[in-house]
Amino acid sequence: RTSVAYTTIRITQIAFQFLYGLFLTNTLCVWKQAHFTVVVLFIVSEVVHFVTMAISMGTNTRVGIVIWIVTIVGVTSVITGVSWPAGPSWFGQHAFWLGECIGLTCMFSLSPILSFAQIGGQNCANDQQVLRRVAGGDI
């Protein structure tokens, strides 16, 4: 709703794309410290991106609520996966992997979810206008 929000959306998306590329090239076995640093930075940039989008689109709109839910599920899964102790149980052996997979799925699924919301929603004219404005560059 403000030019600061839209600038933040653009900058955080560019930062995420750049940092995600660095994550893919700096795997854990190639450069451990860079891997962890880049992972934290790309997660933070995408969370800031999603939160800014949700606030800009209105936290009471369907689109805003969906963004909040996907962000909360993704962040919760990553935190659980990182903090859960490794152990002999199935979850102890797979917690990190599940947290990483669910977190990345939440990050990459938001665009298709919002596209389907725009196509399928009949009572979301306001949401559709907001999506068109953001996607079309009228920001």
pLDDT for res 42: 94
- Parse the chain into domains and list their residue ranges: 3-135
Per-10-residue mean pLDDT, the chain, length 139: 83 94 91 92 95 89 90 96 95 95 94 75 55 55
Q: Amino acid letter at 106?
A: C
CA distance 21 to 46: 14
Q: Which residues contact 103 (CB under 8 A, 6 or more apart)?
A: 43, 74, 75, 77, 78, 81
Please count the residues of the chain.
139
pLDDT for res 78: 96
Read off the DSSP letter of residue 59: T
pLDDT for res 139: 45
Beta strands in the chain (DSSP E): none
